[in-house]
């Protein structure tokens, strides 16, 4: 597995120890944490203090093959990940994406990172026939990014996500290996 992949001004690379203090500031240490309103807000995930982040999050990130930093112009702006939905069988691979600073949204970084990540996964990580992405109907930006990169809507589980006193749909997207035009990244 590669430690770093790069294309079109986007670098996806493994997190390093020296990234973690700035990564905490980017993801939890600022006053504007707008990304939390879109990244599964119905889960009510905690906002980590620096100490909690260093103890609970850092060990899962450093040198992980499943979580990479998204770097643009020398700065980490987010993370991209993969995991098995069916943890024991390892036949259902899902991906995730978060750009933490909303000043970086709308510039195409997410869609370029997602394309590069899917290429990498199909090229290097898995021989599985499918890669999926799950979001919710309130996250209009992620819905557009999924469609823009060529993922197909595969399912809508209606009104199962509750947030801000309203029910939202869980949206499933995916792509089959034979549908994806794998672009070499070297």
Q: Which long-range contacts (CB under 8 A, 24 or more apart) does 36-40 make?
A: 38/138, 38/139, 38/141, 38/142, 39/98, 39/139, 40/136
The CATH code that applies to domain 4-179 is 3.40.630.30
Q: Tell me, what's the pLDDT at 151?
A: 97
Phi-psi group of 136: left, alpha or beta (phi > 0 → left; psi -120 to 50 → alpha; rest → beta)? beta
Please state the rounded mean pLDDT for residues 180-186.
67
pLDDT at 1: 78
For the chain, the structural domain boundaries read 4-179
Using the predicted structure, report yes or no on whether residue 149 has a pLDDT greater than 60. yes
Under a CB-based contact definition with an 8 Å cutoff, are residues 64 and 82 in contact?
Answer: no
Q: How far apart are CA 114 and CA 169, in angstroms?
A: 22
pLDDT tens digits for range 2-17: 899 999 999 999 999 9
39 CB neighbour count, 10 Å cutoff: 20
Residues with Cβ within 8 Å of residue 36, at least 6 apart in sequence: 45, 47
pLDDT at 27: 95
What pLDDT shows up at residue 183? 64
The structure's pTM equals 0.94
pLDDT tens for residues 117-139? 999 999 999 999 999 999 999 99
* pLDDT, the chain, mean: 95
Q: pLDDT: is 185 or 17 the higher one?
A: 17
At 63, is the pLDDT very low, low, confident or very high (cuts 50, 70, 90)? confident
| pLDDT greater than 60 at residue 186 | no
Whether 170 has a pLDDT exceeding 90, the answer reads: yes
């Amino acid at each position: 597995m590669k430690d770093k992949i790069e294309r079109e001004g986007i670098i996806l690379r493994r997190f390093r120890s020296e990234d973690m203090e700035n990564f905490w500031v980017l993801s939890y240490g600022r006053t504007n944490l707008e990304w939390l309103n879109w990244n599964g807000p119905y889960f009510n995930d905690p906002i980590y203090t620096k100490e909690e982040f260093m103890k609970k999050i850092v060990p899962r990130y450093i040198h992980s093959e499943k979580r990479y930093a998204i770097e643009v112009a020398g700065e980490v702006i987010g993370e991209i990940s993969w995991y098995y939905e069916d943890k024991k069988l390892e036949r259902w691979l899902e991906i995730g994406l978060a750009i933490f600073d909303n000043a970086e949204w709308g510039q195409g970084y997410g869609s370029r990172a997602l394309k590069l990540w899917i290429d990498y996964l199909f090229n290097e990580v898995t021989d599985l026939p499918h890669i999926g992405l799950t979001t919710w109907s309130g996250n209009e930006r992620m819905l557009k990014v999924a469609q823009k990169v060529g993922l197909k809507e595969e399912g809508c589980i209606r009104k199962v996500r509750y947030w801000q006193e309203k029910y939202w749909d869980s949206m499933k997207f995916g792509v089959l290996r034979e549908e994806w035009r794998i672009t070499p990244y070297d």
